[in-house]
Amino acid sequence: MPLSREQFKQLACFLGGGALGALLLQDHHDEARRSRAEKEDAAGVRWLCDQIGDILVDWQPCGYDSEDGYTKALYRYLNLRLDDIELEEDVDVELWPCTELGTPDILVNDQLVLELKVNPNKAERDRLMGQCSGYSREWVTWVVIIDLPRHEVGELERLLAAKSLHYIEIIPFS
């Protein structure tokens, strides 16, 4: 009778000792942390993240009066850049879509959320933890941070890690 994946992990822990068992259990935990989008289309999500990551590298946010101004500017920038490059498939960028999990700032292809914050205070960073926790179950989640001092970006990264959200990418801009 063939072993299930879970039975195989338990057997490996018993027979193979700590190292192999820990590796298999880590794989199980990493799988559990993956978003719905990654579970459904891992290769497509990787491709999309590569495309959006390459585009974000060149973004130069200007001095807007509000977070909404930066968010609209990033939305326009993504659409313009995506129109300029030849891609294997269409990419749909939504601004403030209403979802069952809330209203992320930008949702790309129902796979990647960009949540933008401008120099967030402690209350906004706390709220961000909840947003990231919720969004990351459904989509890969990146936080675009503008005008946050480097040491505070580090604190935010440590807070995400402490909440087991270390897989949330933080993209800082000055």
The residue written with tokens 């490059």 in the block is 85
Does residue 11 surpass a pLDDT of 80?
Answer: no
Q: Distance (Å, rounded) from C-alpha 152 to C-alpha 128?
A: 14
Do 92 and 66 share a domain, yes or no?
yes
Do 47 and 125 share a domain, yes or no?
yes
Mean pLDDT for 40-59 is 96
Please state the separation of Cα 66 from the chain's center in Å.
23
Does residue 13 surpass a pLDDT of 50?
Answer: no
Band of the pLDDT at 10, cuts 50, 70, 90?
Answer: low
Q: Distance (Å, rounded) from C-alpha 106 to C-alpha 78?
A: 10
Do 82 and 164 share a domain, yes or no?
yes
Q: What is the pLDDT of residue 27?
A: 42
Terminal-to-terminal C-alpha distance of the chain: 59
Do 75 and 88 share a domain, yes or no?
yes
Mean pLDDT of the chain: 87
Do 29 and 108 share a domain, yes or no?
no
Structural domain containing residue 3: 1-33
Do 62 and 145 share a domain, yes or no?
yes
pLDDT in tens, 60-114: 999 899 999 999 999 999 999 999 988 888 999 999 999 999 999 999 999 999 9
Mean pLDDT for 24-50 is 80
Q: What is the pLDDT of residue 88?
A: 80
Q: Distance (Å, rounded) from C-alpha 105 to C-alpha 96?
A: 5
pLDDT in tens, 116-168: 999 999 999 999 999 999 999 999 999 999 999 999 999 999 999 999 999 99
Count of CB atoms situated within 10 Å of the CB of 28: 13
The three-state (H, E, C) secondary structure of the chain, written as one string: CCCCHHHHHHHHHHHHHHHHHHHHHHHHHHHHHCCHHHHHCHHHHHHHHHHHHHHHHCCCCCCCCCHHHHHHHHHHHHHHHHHHCCCCCCCCEEECCCECCECCCEEECCCEEEEEEECCCHHHHHHHHHHHHHHHHHCEEEEEEECCCHHHHHHHHHHHHHCCCCCCEEEEEC
The count of structural domains within the chain is: 2
Q: What is the pLDDT of residue 3?
A: 54
Does residue 31 surpass a pLDDT of 90?
Answer: no
The residue written with tokens 């509000």 in the block is 66
Does residue 12 surpass a pLDDT of 50?
Answer: no
Q: What is the pLDDT of residue 86?
A: 84
Do 79 and 156 share a domain, yes or no?
yes
Band of the pLDDT at 28, cuts 50, 70, 90?
Answer: very low
Do 13 and 98 share a domain, yes or no?
no
Q: Which residue, among 106, 105, 156, 91, has the nearest Cα to 129 in the 3D structure?
A: 156
